[in-house]
Amino acid sequence: MISVGVEEEYLLVDPATAVPAPVVGAVRPEAGLGPFAEGVEIQDELLQAQIEVATPVCRRLDEVGGHLLRLRHAVASAAEAHRCRVAATGAAPLRGDSSVPVTPTARYLRMEGEARQLVDEQLICGMHVHVGVPDPETGVAVLNRIRGWLPTLLAMSANSPLWDGRDTGFASWRTIVFGRWPVSGPPPHFDGLRDYEARLEELVASGVIADRKQVYWQARLSDSYPTVEVRCLDVQLRADDAVMFAGIVRGLVVTAIAEEEVGAPLPVMAPELTQASNWHAARHGLNGTLLDPLGRPHSSGDVLFALLRHITPALEDAGDLRGVSGLVNRLLEVGTPADRQRRALAEAGLPGLIRLVTGAVTPE
């Protein structure tokens, strides 16, 4: 069974106002020393009101779910001890009157000096799915074959409609905020591993980015693990939806490897159409059309079912088909997390929104 792992980013917020609380310096050590998590599983992020968790390498989706629930409990318990909450939202719905301090590492301080406004507004949270690949050359082939599905994954995951106390009109405002970095958005098509490495070397040599870690494509090869890393997703309200995405991304990778082995035709979407598809998905989520991997518009439901058909053999082989398809059907019924945020705010105001974005993480 091909390995899979998940990283989730959360916001630390005031439980009454939802304003980001810069207390990760106290929360992270307590979360990592408790009975539910190890220190290496809890990480700082760019800003001191953010915290990240990372599952161990997993083989089964129930392992992913168990680890995410355990880690969410650990960080939520530590946050409660410091009078704040952990919010599973892709963007801070309110930012307050002052900037959140940067986590004081050399890299983050350098980023602050180079792009202060971007860093100040980086109060956004995503989830990353790592899937094992046998070698980097295969990994690049996988990137080429899954890139057309990234806007669909983005639309499904959308969980950041609010910013500065207002509805942005976007389902995933996080995508728009993150897209302002110099190397971001959907990855290009690559002519093999040599081309991939040459492009990264040229980007770093240009001096526009400081290192390879600032290549923020929505899918890339990990420099730390033998994996493809998919990064287009907003963090999820519910752990089981994060598990759904872990299953879908692994299904896409397994399918791509199988297609590459038999020389199946490679769908190639023009870069401008890929970018337009990505923006459209961030704008509308599942409330309208989506573009399929060839750039053709369809209803969002039709594209989701096409995605499931595409990866069904991989899901069946892993024993994941029933669980993943059930969660996809639930998503179509209840809407994206962005839809749920909007409903919570309309029905119960800010208190209802806070209950929603912190309720799936805060322990009973």
How far apart CA 325 and CA 250 sit, in angstroms, is 14
Alpha-carbon distances of 99 from 172, 290, 344, 354, rounded to whole Å: 22, 36, 27, 21
Can you give the CATH number for the domain in which 90 is found? 3.30.590.20
Lowest average pLDDT, out of 102-116, 167-181, 227-241, 277-291, goes to: 102-116
* pLDDT tens digits, 248-268: 999 999 999 999 999 999 988
Give exposure, 128-149, as e/b (b: 16+ Cβ within 10 Å): bbbbbbeebebbbbbbbbbbbb
How far apart CA 232 and CA 166 sit, in angstroms, is 23
* Burial class of residue 309, CB neighbours in 10 A (0-12, 13-18, 19+): exposed
Residue 362: predicted pLDDT: 56
Whether 364 maps to a domain, the answer reads no
* pLDDT tens digits, 17-52: 999 999 999 999 988 767 777 778 999 999 999 999
Whether 60 maps to a domain, the answer reads yes
Whether 352 maps to a domain, the answer reads yes
Residue 364: predicted pLDDT: 42
* pLDDT tens digits, 131-147: 999 999 999 999 999 99
Residue 203: predicted pLDDT: 97
Quote the crossing angle between the two packed helices 61-81 and 239-262, to the nearest 10°: 140
Residue 360: predicted pLDDT: 63
Rounded to the nearest integer, the mean pLDDT of the chain is 95
Which pair of structure tokens corresponds to residue 202? 């040229």
Please, which pLDDT band fits residue 361 given cuts at 50, 70 and 90? low
Q: Please give the tally of structural domains in the chain.
A: 1
* pLDDT tens digits, 55-64: 999 999 999 9
Q: Model-level pTM?
A: 0.96
Rounded mean pLDDT, 271-290 = 97
What three-state secondary structure class fits 219? strand
How far apart CA 153 and CA 170 sit, in angstroms, is 15
Residue 363: predicted pLDDT: 47
Rounded mean pLDDT, 296-315 = 98
The pLDDT of residue 159 is above 90: yes
Rounded mean pLDDT, 61-90 = 96
Residue with tokens 């220190």: 39
Residue of higher predicted confidence among 343 and 37: 343
- Report, in this order, helix, strand and coil percent for the chain, each rounded to 5: 50, 15, 30
Q: Write out the residue range of the structural domain in which residue 285 sits.
A: 4-331+338-359
Q: Where in the chain does DSSP place strands (E)?
A: 4-13, 42-44, 50-54, 85-87, 126-132, 162-163, 166-167, 184-185, 216-217, 219-221, 227-234, 289-291, 297-299
* pLDDT tens digits, 201-225: 999 999 999 999 999 999 999 999 9
Whether 142 maps to a domain, the answer reads yes
